[in-house]
């Protein structure tokens, strides 16, 4: 008899975890994974695959899990994804693979993400080597940025035999995976670092503290360093602000600053020097993954957190699982609320956040119902810090220092088609730098497609 409910996944108790930075979700063990895999109908026309941006052969890998053939499952996933341990944890599955799963119509979809994560963790714990490396082919490629797009592009090129150098402006490798997404959602030592070690094993050279456009220009990478092609995966890391009164008060931070201090600079550990300030009560403005991450981080640092979002709960762009976890951890939602001013005390510190109540009107271009302010509905949330998380844009350092590299009005690098070709010969780009802030899986996929295109380009030139 087919079960309509998925095998529950073990998690850290909310009352405990809101005081620590350990991973929230423990994941499946072998027995649980096999049981959950048995729920999959192995559909002839698997809808789930159409929901996965990289078309992982989901029924095939799940079948291997069901038969306890975990290494084979890992090989199936590796055909399409190079960061399964990451994507199994952070993909918005409910709107991608699992959102399309046929079982979801009557009951709960197969826990595809949790199974993917299980396979990735299992193969890492068992030191399964999935990389087949070709001998060095004499050509070198530079990769700018070490986020998911850069890492996957570098990995694929190295496997093809290219000499690859990754340039990263920060002192750590991983992009948003290390500076943005918190430890309790994506463990750095356990999950992210092994991915990077794999790259190093493939012979990829990694240079940190190199700001392309400042330390070396893109043109120098060609002219002086002799690279045959360049991939730009520099992300969209520049925080936007709201331009409301009081935004530069003490106690107002961008989510990027707050998360960078905590994740990259490890401010949550006493033995690290970088300070972080989170008041007794903090308002986080926004509703995406970044906002929820900032709020849950603030809770872990001992603050009472309010999420201020101008639409309703149904429109929250964050992953459903994170919203649920945040609720369990005591995050207060102030929905249908739009901030209009940050109020100061007499010492230039935040004293409150003034908002307007909103209601939902007609759908806008995004298809979501547009929030419209309700007259005379001003109210004040009593907080002493505010974290602004309303989005990010690409950093202009590269586009402004590279002649002939076309960008659009939002500052994103313009590419031609799917393979990441830019307006400059030999320069390819992908990930958030091209699309604006998006997802790990899309960035990874863009990096892999570009690797293929770069190979073709070099072969034909």
- Verify binding: residue 181, ligand SF4, rule CB under 6 A: no
Six-digit token pair at 27? 């994941």
What sign does the CA torsion over 373, 376, 382, 384 have? positive
* Closest to another protein by CB, 81 or 260: 260
Residue with tokens 């005591």: 330
Taking the complex as a whole, the smallest distance from the CB of residue 247 to ligand FAD amounts, in Å, to 20
Site mask, another protein, residues 209-228, x = CB under 8 A?
Answer: xxx--xxx------------
- Using DSSP, state whether 99 is helix, strand or coil: helix
> Which of 23, 293, 329, 455 contacts ligand FAD by CB under 6 A?
293
Maximum pairwise Cα distance, the chain? 70
- In the complex with ligand FAD, the residue whose CB is nearer, 163 or 237, is 237
Q: Is 121 exposed, middle or buried (0-12, 13-18, 19+ CB in 10 A)?
A: buried
If one asks whether residue 397 binds ligand FAD (CB under 6 A), the answer comes out as yes
The binder of 59, among ligand SF4, ligand FAD, another protein, none, by C-beta within 5 to 8 A per type, is ligand SF4
Distance CA 54, CA 82 (A): 10
Residue 431 touches which of ligand SF4, ligand FAD, another protein, none (Cβ within 5-8 Å per kind): ligand FAD
Exposure of 351 in the CB half-sphere (CA atoms within 13 A): 6
How far apart CA 282 and CA 200 sit, in angstroms, is: 41
53 binds ligand FAD (CB under 6 A): no
103, 204, 353, 446: which one binds ligand SF4 (CB under 6 A): 103
Task: Tell me how many residues contact another protein (CB under 8 A).
Answer: 39
Q: How many residues bind ligand FAD (CB under 6 A)?
A: 41
CB 279 within 8 A of CB 303: yes
Binding ligand SF4 (rule: CB under 6 A), the pick from 7, 37, 56, 154 is: 56
Residue selected from 25, 211, 340, 372 as contacting ligand FAD according to rule CB under 6 A: 211
Among 3, 20, 29, 42, binds ligand SF4 (CB under 6 A): 42
Query: Where does residue 368 rank: exposed (0-12), middle (13-18), buried (19+ CB within 10 A)?
Result: middle
CA atoms within 13 A on the CB side of 274: 13
Distance, CA of 235 to CA of 215 (rounded, Å): 18
Q: Provide, rounded to whole angstroms, the least separation between the CB of residue 169 and another protein.
A: 6
* Residues in contact with 456: Cβ distance below 8 Å, sequence separation at least 6, in sequence order: none
Between 131 and 245, CB nearer to another protein: 245
Dist CA 213 CA 145 (whole Å): 12
Report the residue from 82, 93, 263, 303 that binds ligand SF4 according to the rule CB under 6 A. 93
Chain residues that interact with another protein, rule: CB under 8 A: 169-171, 208-211, 214-216, 237-239, 241, 243, 247-248, 250-251, 253-254, 256-257, 260-261, 265-266, 271-277, 347-348, 395-397
């Amino acid at each position: 008899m087919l079960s309509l409910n998925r095998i529950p996944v073990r998690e850290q108790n909310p009352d405990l975890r809101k005081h620590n930075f350990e991973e929230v979700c423990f994941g499946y063990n072998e027995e649980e994974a096999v049981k959950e895999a048995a729920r999959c109908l192995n559909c002839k026309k698997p809808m789930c695959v159409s929901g996965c941006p990289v078309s992982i052969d989901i029924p095939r890998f799940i079948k291997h899990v069901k038969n306890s053939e975990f290494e084979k499952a890992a090989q199936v996933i590796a055909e399409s994804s190079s960061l399964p341990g990451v994507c199994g944890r952070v993909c918005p599955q409910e709107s991608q693979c699992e959102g399309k799963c046929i079982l979801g119509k009557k009951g709960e979809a197969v826990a595809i993400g949790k199974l993917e994560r299980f396979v990735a963790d299992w193969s890492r714990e068992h030191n399964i080597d999935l990389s087949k490396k070709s001998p060095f082919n004499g050509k070198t490629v530079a990769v700018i940025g070490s986020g998911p797009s850069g890492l996957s592009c570098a990995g694929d090129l190295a496997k093809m035999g290219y000499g690859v150098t990754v340039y990263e402006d920060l002192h750590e490798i991983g992009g948003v995976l290390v500076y943005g997404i918190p430890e309790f959602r994506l463990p750095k030592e356990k999950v992210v670092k092994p991915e990077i070690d794999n790259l190093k094993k493939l012979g990829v050279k990694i240079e940190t503290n190199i700001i392309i456009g400042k330390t070396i220009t893109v043109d120098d990478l060609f002219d002086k360093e002799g690279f045959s092609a360049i991939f730009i995966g520099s992300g969209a890391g520049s925080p936007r602000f709201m331009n409301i009164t009081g935004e530069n008060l003490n106690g107002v931070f961008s989510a990027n600053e707050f998360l960078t201090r905590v994740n990259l600079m490890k401010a949550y550990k006493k033995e690290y020097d970088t300070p972080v300030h989170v008041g007794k009560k903090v308002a986080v403005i926004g509703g995406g993954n970044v906002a929820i991450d900032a709020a849950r981080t603030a809770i872990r640092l001992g603050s009472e957190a309010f999420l201020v979002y101008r639409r309703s709960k149904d429109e929250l762009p964050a992953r459903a699982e994170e919203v649920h976890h945040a609720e369990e951890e005591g995050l207060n939602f102030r929905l249908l609320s739009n901030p209009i001013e940050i109020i100061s005390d007499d010492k230039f510190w935040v004293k409150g956040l003034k908002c307007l109540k909103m209601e939902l009107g007609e759908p806008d271009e995004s298809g979501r119902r547009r929030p419209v302010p309700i007259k005379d509905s001003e109210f004040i949330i009593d907080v002493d810090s505010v974290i602004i998380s309303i989005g990010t844009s690409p950093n202009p350092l590269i586009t402004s220092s590279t002649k002939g590299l076309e960008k659009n009005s939002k500052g994103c690098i313009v590419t031609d088609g799917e393979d990441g070709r830019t307006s400059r010969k030999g320069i390819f780009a992908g990930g958030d730098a091209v699309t604006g802030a998006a997802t790990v899986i899309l960035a990874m996929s863009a990096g892999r497609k570009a690797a293929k295109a770069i190979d073709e380009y070099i072969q034909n030139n």
